[in-house]
Amino acid sequence: MPNFEHPEYPEATLLHLESMVPCRESQVSSLLSIFGELPHVFVNCVECFTSRLLLEEILTQLQSLSSENKHGSHVPCDTFNDFVRLFKQEIITQDLQNQTVYIVLDKAEQLREMEANMLPGFLRLQEMTDRNVTVIFLSEIVWELFRPNTGCLEPFTLYFPDYSIGNLQKILSHYHPPEYSADFYAAYINILLGVFYTVCRDLKELRHLAALNFTKYCEPVVRGEANERDTRRLWKNIESHLKKAMQTVYLREISSSQWERIQQDDGEPGHLKGLSAHAHVELPYYSKFLLIAAYLASYNPARTDKRFFLKHHGKIKKTNFLKKHEKTSNHLLGPKPFPLDRLLAILYSIVDNKVAPTANIFSQITSLVTLQLLTLVGHDDQLDGPKYKCTVSLDFIRAIARTVNFDIIKYLYDFL
């Protein structure tokens, strides 16, 4: 029996749905209570990265809803006004006047990068077309970061919370290899989550890490040195290996293929060739300086920026400077959040040649966040800009700084 019920759907359909989205009973039940049958189009806003591509893809998929036309023909559409007109025509052509049509937009945060009328237009699409249409936005960011400054129709929001450790244990254990027992793989997942759960809650990432490191976990069993129930020996074999994986693969210091080759070449756990020097990090030139600037902003008090980065600031005696401000190690306190404008100000100061604040610089900041070298810190004030934290270690940033001949120690307040 499925965990959720709905009179309009057969039991087999509900069971299939439950297998597709395990541990989401509450959210699925809410969606089932709202939605009926689903004539729908599904568009990924990353793939359709311009407004024209997005609107044309919706119209093309709308054509394919007809049983006579499984492959819709291309529909040119330049503006949102054209889209409204063509959408109304397609609803009539496909004989969908008496049904609710759903438009599902995945990675919907990309709408913020398109024309200003796209997001408000989709929110008012039912009103503008006078048709029974529902637009569903799928995103990993909260609505408050979507809302246009000019205001718009507020959508109904349904939050999917992070999976609990019990949820992740249940889901990941479901994908056990057929040649091993479910209990053996569940024990492995329990060990994996014990190492990674504090830093990673993303299901896809954890599935990837589980698949990547399972071979190492099985080594004592394969060699005949332990059986599947010898949890202590299996844990001893994999513990240091997983901790090293957290510092390398998870932070993308090396690629998954490099990690697999290292496992084949070096059988000793915890002693992995060439990883301690962080020499495998390959970042664009300005991304390295961005990361250096972010580290300085995270670990230097803002009041010290004038001393370190402003030319002709006048002489400041070190003894007086330290007496005025009692010195506590910022590295012991951990990284502090900093605003974007401070990051860019430090970047312009430490890079010799002039750096224009182009879209390329901002995209590199986004890439550093994606690589989890920076963390985007949320903020409640809508007028406030984004804030970040640098998450790398001192050894890591010193290795990065050496590749661009930058002496970072000279610019760190803790080392005055």
pLDDT at 293: 93
By the 8 A CB rule, do 101 and 61 touch? Answer: no
Structural tokens at position 68: 């006579």
Please name the residue ranges forming H helices in 145-202: 165-173, 182-196
- Please, what is the Cα angle at 323 between 321 and 327, to 5 degrees? 85
pLDDT at 285: 78
Q: Indicate the residue type of 23.
A: C
pLDDT at 382: 42
Average pLDDT value for the chain: 81
pLDDT at 151: 76
- The sheet with strand 133-137 has its strands ordered as 40-44, 101-106, 133-137
List of the chain residues with pLDDT < 50: 267-280, 312-316, 319, 323-324, 380, 382
pLDDT per position as a tens digit, 220-263: 989 888 888 888 889 888 888 887 777 655 555 555 666 666 66
pLDDT at 361: 78
Calpha distance 45→23 (Å, rounded): 27
pLDDT at 298: 93
Structural tokens at position 354: 């002039």
Q: Find, among 107, 102, 103, 118, the residue nearest to 152 by Cα.
A: 118
